[in-house]
A and B are shown apart, each in its own frame.
Chain A
């Protein structure tokens, strides 16, 4: 069918309702979660095999039989960047699925929950594997549909429904914008294949319609990537969703929008590069300031973390706007680090919320005394995301700033440094509230988090420290992925010259 990792995820997605129906008759409650986690482990194993194949061949092309091949046919084009991002998706997906075995045990509809989680990971995988614009759109719709239902999952609360509706309207408007941009590209070149589009549109800098299409693409993908004028769905959706879903959305789905955006801008709009570089850099600065300034005013734990996600997406989009090998490698490394740190923070927040039933920071004061291990992991995550030296956030943020300085975007780098310093204020407010204050009545009643929830939290905290102390292999992997992204000639050759 497709490649083994994507096949595994899709087959397990279809198998989950079957397992759910069987155990509904027998009455074992946790089997669906274990089945979904097993599916993700099998997909990780196949991904390892695929990564060996990609590192030998460079780019793996999956297409139909020979008369029906690209550029007219659909294709999946897998390079190092795709494998890199899929590894992040599957690992974070695995941790959140294991966490939600215990977290969601009192909810109903667990069969559909695990089906949709696997569907979301499959959709994100397909999005980075796609070699054709319409294939990307099909998997993009898979990712979006599953995330709409996951945000509105706890439908008996008004908050989930309001946040879910707002998110659905804005995100579906983004998809419609992407479709319109796709139609203009088809009108200009007669094809929808990325390699063919890159080849045909390489020298067309004076075309007004190309700039209109560029604006539509940035708006369409920017709504999903939480760039500032289009970010208003994010705080509501991330606080109303169940915590493992927030961790997935915030840690991996929002950066996927940015990754696909930069992929398309580098491949298809390479002739308009100065225009989109400056536009993305300006949007990135607005995003950073918007996220950080709004986060200073929050009293709700998950809403504060959601605004922090917006700020970090500003850093990532700035790294992409630099468009040099160092800038792209720094952004990709920051995507890995941000996924680890932000999902750690959301999973710990979920543990706090499950034990105390409140999200208000004023009531959660001093919860460190009654939930020591979770609070220790939360502190490690907060120190890491505030970019302190021995932990992983420091390396990636400094790499982005250095890449910006080297590429002569000095004002933007100075603004990013200001933002990093500004964000330390609210991260330290979080640490002070969780550890240093006296416990309130609500936080005294909390008990320790269950073991199955603690395992992913502690592994993620360990990863934060481990990547921070020894970042070299990860920086190498990000550099290889960035090189693969910039190697447009090889990308075109595989499809058009038939290597």
Chain B
């Protein structure tokens, strides 16, 4: 089996990619996708730990956390997409840099 460190490194790399996506993308829907990537980093980490607790066995606690957390991420994405719909209606663009009327 591959050593556990590689899975943790993958989780941290996914988290950094998600943060980069949030910081640099302009399209609002891509920002929502960046959020999903960040949450999935934590999911990968949970499943990796739950598989390495003991050879040949898994720990169901990690899996149950991931099952419930996937549905929360879905709820947040649904709400975010509703807000993006209204933002498109008001600003006529999906570019997040145009949402700058609120300053200082």
Identify the A interface with B (CB < 8 A): 72, 134, 137-138, 141, 144-145, 148-149, 152, 155, 158-159, 161-166, 168-169, 172-173, 175-177, 179-180, 182-184, 186-187, 190-192, 236, 240, 294, 297-298
Q: Are B45 and A187 in contact (CB under 8 A)?
A: yes
Contacts of A141 in B (CB 8 A): 72, 75-76
Q: Are A183 and B42 in contact (CB under 8 A)?
A: yes
Query: SS class of chain B's interface: helix, strand, loop or mixed?
Result: helix
Closest to A157 in B: B90
Q: Are A172 and B11 in contact (CB under 8 A)?
A: no
User: In whole angstroms, what is the CA distance A240 to B86 when docked?
Assistant: 15
6 closest A-B pairs by beta carbon, nearest first, are A176-B38, A179-B42, A183-B45, A187-B49, A158-B90, A180-B42
A145-B79, A175-B39, A236-B102 provided; 4 other pairs, C-beta below 8 A?
A: A161-B90, A179-B69, A183-B42, A186-B62
User: In whole angstroms, what is the CA distance A158 to B101 when docked?
Assistant: 9
Q: Are B38 and A186 in contact (CB under 8 A)?
A: no
Q: Are B61 and A72 in contact (CB under 8 A)?
A: yes
Contacts of A183 in B (CB 8 A): 11, 42, 45-46, 49, 62
User: In whole angstroms, what is the CA distance A74 to B8 when docked?
Assistant: 26
Chain B proximity of A302: nearest CB distance (Å):
12
Q: Would you call B65 an interface residue if the criterion is a C-beta within 8 Å of the partner chain's C-beta atoms?
A: yes
Chain B proximity of A79: nearest CB distance (Å):
25
Most buried by B among A163, A187, A191: A187
Q: Are A186 and B87 in contact (CB under 8 A)?
A: no
Contacts of A184 in B (CB 8 A): 45
Chain B proximity of A220: nearest CB distance (Å):
11
Contacts of A236 in B (CB 8 A): 102
Q: Are A162 and B102 in contact (CB under 8 A)?
A: yes
Contacts of B46 in A (CB 8 A): 183, 186
Q: Are A176 and B35 in contact (CB under 8 A)?
A: yes
Contacts of A294 in B (CB 8 A): 104
User: In whole angstroms, what is the CA distance A373 to B87 when docked?
Assistant: 39
Q: Are B35 and A182 in contact (CB under 8 A)?
A: no
Q: List 14 A-B contacts (CB under 8 A).
A: A134-B68, A141-B72, A145-B79, A148-B79, A158-B101, A165-B83, A165-B84, A165-B96, A168-B76, A168-B83, A169-B80, A183-B46, A183-B49, A190-B53
Closest to B77 in A: A172
Q: Would you call B13 an interface residue if the criterion is a C-beta within 8 Å of the partner chain's C-beta atoms?
A: no
Q: Are A163 and B86 in contact (CB under 8 A)?
A: no
Q: Digitize B68-94: 1 where CB-to-A-CB distance is under 8 Å, 0 elsewhere.
A: 110010011001100110110011000
Contacts of B22 in A (CB 8 A): 169, 173
Of A145, A149, A163, the residue contacting B102 (CB under 8 A) is A163
Q: Are A169 and B31 in contact (CB under 8 A)?
A: yes
Contacts of A164 in B (CB 8 A): 83
Closest to A167 in B: B83
User: In whole angstroms, what is the CA distance A249 to B69 when docked?
Assistant: 24
Closest to A180 in B: B42
Q: Are A159 and B101 in contact (CB under 8 A)?
A: yes
With known contacts A72-B61, A161-B90, A190-B59, A176–B79 Cβ distance under 8 A: no
Q: Are B101 and A161 in contact (CB under 8 A)?
A: no
Contacts of B83 in A (CB 8 A): 148, 152, 161, 164-165, 168
Contacts of B45 in A (CB 8 A): 180, 183-184, 187
User: In whole angstroms, what is the CA distance A162 to B86 when docked?
Assistant: 9
Q: Are B65 and A192 in contact (CB under 8 A)?
A: yes
Closest to B32 in A: A169
Q: Are B11 and A180 in contact (CB under 8 A)?
A: yes
Of B28, B31, B39, the residue contacting A179 (CB under 8 A) is B39
